[in-house]
Structure 1
Amino acid sequence: MLEQLGGVSGLIYSTVPIVVFVPVNSFFGLKWAIIAALASAAAIFAIRLARREALQPAVSGLIGVAICAFIAHRTGSAKGYFLFGIWSTLVYAAVFVLSIVVRWPLVGVVWNMINGNGSEWRRHRRTLVAYDIATACWAVLFIARYLVQSSLYDHDQTGWLAASRIAMGWPLTAVAVLATVLLVRWADRGAAESPDNTRSGAASPEHAGD
């Protein structure tokens, strides 16, 4: 799942345009800050291309920076650069919470889709609970990001907004990934030890004659 986010390097790369944007805006103005952010995103894309790394995260990052830069340009305010990310976190939080409510926790869906499994995991209560908790961890992460960053946005705290974007970015994402891995392993053990698997083993051909 970490690879789907671009790996550790991808999480770190995502902070570079922000680190570039804020100081350039302070010293040279919004126009040059936008140019610098776009240039840094393009440079990251070129680096990943040269290293033959996964391009999907790099392309997504480049498009994301372009959208943020466009909003900043349209609003004429540096804090507008962060608006897309703020509202995106709210949407993500809503999707993760909704997936728990409808009993299709998103972490479970994504994890089993990546590994080519079906939907049997939903039949095991322990497994379903584990995926619910893992999904809730991500939902809490996104909700926290939205509440903190939207408050800073409303109070025109662009510098602190950038700092919170970085601090609540890859470090908290790494924690959420770790929690997800631990919970998924716990869920897999629960599925392996489930009564259904025991019964299926007892009914297998090698035990038929016992």
Structure 2
Amino acid sequence: MTPGPEGDQPTTRIPRVAGEPADHDSATGPIPRVPAEEPAGVTAEIHENDRSEDTDDSGRRPTLLEQMGGIPGIIASTVPVAVFVVANVLFELKPALIAAVVAGVLVAVFRIARRQPLQPAISGLFGVAVCAFIAYRTGEARGFYLPGLLYSAALGLAFLVSIIVRRPLAGVIWHAVNGHGQGWRRNPRMLRAYSWASALWALVFAARLVVQGWLYNADEETWLGIARLAMGYPLLGLAIVGTVVAVRRAERTPAAG
């Protein structure tokens, strides 16, 4: 019991039960709030410990696209390849390999200086190191593009298999990149749309494999490098547009029945 203002009856302070509205009406009017007291420093320590290492400052888990550094990060990971293509045209194999590795290191340093995600830079540097090693061991510039050909073959096969097992990778990857769940698989229209989109992605990787594989066997190093760049972002953009169109069309189509 605490004394109220002059002339008023004493007011009883009743702690608010969790989940009860703050301004609970009663016969005596609103019940005053009694703030819960916590030991000094405990709240800050709990919030700090609850923050996961893979969440940002707001406590939200970064999407896969954000972990990759966004579009700039994806572009940065391909800089060493572009440098190798140009340097191989202007110079010989060894200077081109050195230029590609140096470009990968500079991209990593640049992202460190700007405190940007390092995953794209590290992935690009690792990839160009593997390609450079194969080219150096074989003594042929076309060896630099061999891992990319194997990568396209593996992805094309993976997209085809995902359609057969009814887990189309276009949907799995798209929702993972954007931080969404995988509940779309329970929607037949969305499942069908992502299956068509996955078939488009498989076609893109198959086209890369066929064209670049033919240039690789023909030992056309310069044209192979040009094809690697020309069939990179343009075909990637085409596949993304196709995925968006297929999904939006499925979302607009009314459910049967």
TM-score range, shorter chain: 0.7 to 0.9
Match of 1:124 in 2: 187
Q: How does 1:83-162 map to 2 (within 5 A)?
A: 83-113=146-176, 114-118=178-182, 120-162=183-225
Deviation at 1:107, TM superposition (A): 1.5
Match of 1:203 in 2: none
Q: Residue deviations 1:44-72, cap 9 Å, x none?
A: 12222223333222211111101100110
> Secondary structure of the equivalent of 2:115?
coil
Unaligned runs of at least 5 residues, structure 1: 197-210
Match of 1:53 in 2: 116
Contact 1:128 1:187 in 2 (8 A): no
Kindly name which structure, 1 or 2, has the bigger radius of gyration based on alpha carbons.
2
**TM-score normalised over the length of structure 2:** 0.67
- After superposition, the Cα gap between the structure-2 partners of 1:107 and 1:22, relative to the gap in structure 1 and judged at 3 Å, is closer
Match of 1:19 in 2: 82
- After superposition, the Cα gap between the structure-2 partners of 1:6 and 1:94, relative to the gap in structure 1 and judged at 3 Å, is farther
Bigger share in helix: 1
State the 4+ residue runs in structure 1 displaced beyond 6 angstroms. Answer: none
Letter in 1 for 2:192: V
Deviation at 1:188, TM superposition (A): 4.0
CA distance in 1, matches of 2:213, 2:244: 29
Contact 1:86 1:146 in 2 (8 A): yes
**Aligned pairs, number:** 193
Contact 1:13 1:44 in 2 (8 A): yes
- After superposition, the Cα gap between the structure-2 partners of 1:151 and 1:92, relative to the gap in structure 1 and judged at 3 Å, is same
- Identical-residue share of aligned pairs (%): 48
Letter in 1 for 2:181: N
Larger RCO, structure (CA 8 Å, separation 6 or more): 1
